[in-house]
Amino acid sequence: MNNIGLGDGSQTVSLVVLTAMLIASAMGVVLLQNIVYAAFLLGATFISVAGLYLLLNADFVAAAQVLIYVGAVNILILFAIMLVNKRQDYQDVKYGTLRSVVTGVVCLGLFALLGVTVTSTSWAVSPTIAKLPSTMVVIGQHFFSDYLLPFELASILLLVSLIGAIVLARRELVPDTVKVGQVDTESLELLEKPKEQLVASK
């Protein structure tokens, strides 16, 4: 009984901490004007969601949340922000105050609806913990038995898109001025020039 009570207490503390972290980081993503800080807080939001998945015994979904959203999507957003590096002042939006008020009212309405749903639903809670197999084991068995062909086709599709992205990234810059009737064969090549030659040619 003491072990069960200790386990319930640790789960409750973990739920409260993850929920507070999720709400704080999500509010930071929305309210902060520094887009770099907002991107980092978005990663913290994804990690908090992954922790909630772990509390639900969904280990595969939690791992996919960290690998895909934190390790791929959030890093891609950070790279895009750092590569663009465009400094521009925010322009005043027409009826900005009215839009903010409407957005706040809609968010409060959704929060109230979710609160009523949570409190009015009779959640079936079992005092005993069932011994369930790991979701990774079950999904892995399906991937390599029933869904082997779609899994391999998705892998080939991702490989083709990766090769296409590499080819497009290595493409030469097409010059702005080309003489009439002259075919610029060099601009059609996909060979990469050093950066110094591109600057010198300009």
Closest residue by Cα to residue 136 from 195, 83, 57: 57
CB atoms within 10 A of CB 46: 20
pLDDT by residue for the chain (202 residues), tens digit each?
A: 444 455 667 888 999 999 999 999 999 998 888 888 888 899 999 999 999 998 888 888 898 889 888 888 888 888 887 777 666 666 677 777 888 889 889 989 999 999 999 889 887 766 665 666 777 788 888 888 888 888 889 889 989 988 888 887 776 554 555 555 555 555 445 445 555 555 555 5
Long-range pairs for 58-62 at CB < 8 Å and ≥24 separation?
58/135, 59/134, 59/135, 59/136, 60/134, 60/135, 60/136, 60/139, 61/135
Query: What's residue 127's pLDDT?
Result: 60
In order of 35, 47, 154, 164, the CA distances from 79 in angstroms are: 12, 19, 25, 19
Query: What's residue 190's pLDDT?
Result: 47
Please state the pTM of the whole predicted model: 0.58
Q: By the 8 A CB rule, do 14 and 55 touch?
A: yes
The residue length of the chain stands at 202
Query: What's residue 98's pLDDT?
Result: 85
Between CA 193 and CA 201 the distance in angstroms is 11
Give domain limits for the chain: 1-90, 147-176+185-202
**Token pair of 157, please?**
């599709």
CATH architecture of 1-90: Up-down Bundle (1.20)
